[in-house]
Structure formats: C-alpha cells, structure tokens
Structure 1
C-alpha cells in the first residue's frame, strides 16, 4: 500500500526544486492543491497527482437549537 502523501523525493521530482519555498511557489503556479505543515513544508496528497477525485466534504450536520428559539 502506498503512502497518502508524496515523500520529499517525489515532491522534489514533481517541482524540480529542493527548497520548500520554491516548491510552494511552483505548486501554486501549477495549480496543484497542497497544505503547508507545521514546519513549513508543502504536503501534497498522492491522489491529487494520480488524478483521483477527492471525496467531497461531508455536509455539515444540522445544528441543534432549542425549541424556545424561533417560536412566535
């Protein structure tokens, strides 16, 4: 089973850059969605690169409100 995220070598190969700031710049210019982790490195999911569709976010659960609110 493969990892969920690209490793540093794969990210380097994809962007052609070693420095994280340049990788981020290139990912933005290529339109590849990514997140920046706590230490400033870009994180790209393998599914994005392989062309798999990401699951849409689950709809937000309806918030509970007491019956007293909104009663006229």
Structure 2
C-alpha cells in the first residue's frame, strides 16, 4: 500500500539498497542493529538524513535524486532616494 510519505521519503527497501545494509550484525561481541549500521554509513557518505525515535534513518527523496529546490527569485531592490551630498 502506497502512502504520501513514499513520495517524499525513501522506503525502507530503498534505504537498504542505497546503503547495502539489510540486516544487523555483531561486532566485538556487541550486536548492532541494521539502523545503526545504516546511520554510520550515511554519515560517512555525507547523505543528509534524520533518525526517528527508533533510530531508523529517514532520507528525503530529494536528497538522493538531486532534485533542484524550487527556483526562488532574488528579492527586488527597493527604490531608495539618493542622499543629497553624496
């Protein structure tokens, strides 16, 4: 089932594919979750994300697709009178 969040954020399967991490592991006797491994990878790769309350990385689709932000026009300069004696 598709929801509106799928249009804005990557799905869990897409994050798994992007990071190449689909399950946790044990390092030095300490279990690491899939999410903590993905967070480490994303930080090292410089991909912007936020971690939700469960530690799951949430990635905006625009951050990966490189979609340009909406063009914002520079503010116009307002008319100002010239100061006498410049």
Rg larger in 1 or in 2? Answer: 2
Equivalent residue, structure 2, for 1:16: 20
**Deviations 1:3-55 (CA, angstroms, capped at 9, x unpaired):** 10000000000000121011001100110000001111000000000002456
Q: Please, what is the CA RMSD of the aligned residues?
A: 1.7
Measure, in 2, the Cα distance between the counterparts of 1:53 and 1:32: 16
Structure in which a larger fraction of residues adopt strand: 2
| Paired residue total | 55
CA, structure 1 residues 48+26, in 2 after alignment: closer, same or farther (shift >3 Å)? same
* Gaps in structure 1 of 5+ consecutive residues: 56-72
**TM-score computed with the length of structure 1 as normaliser:** 0.68
Greater RCO, CA 8 A, separation 6+? 1
Could you tell me which of 9, 18, 33 is aligned with 1:5?
9
* Stretches (4+) displaced over 2 A: none
* Gaps in structure 2 of 5+ consecutive residues: 23-33, 71-86
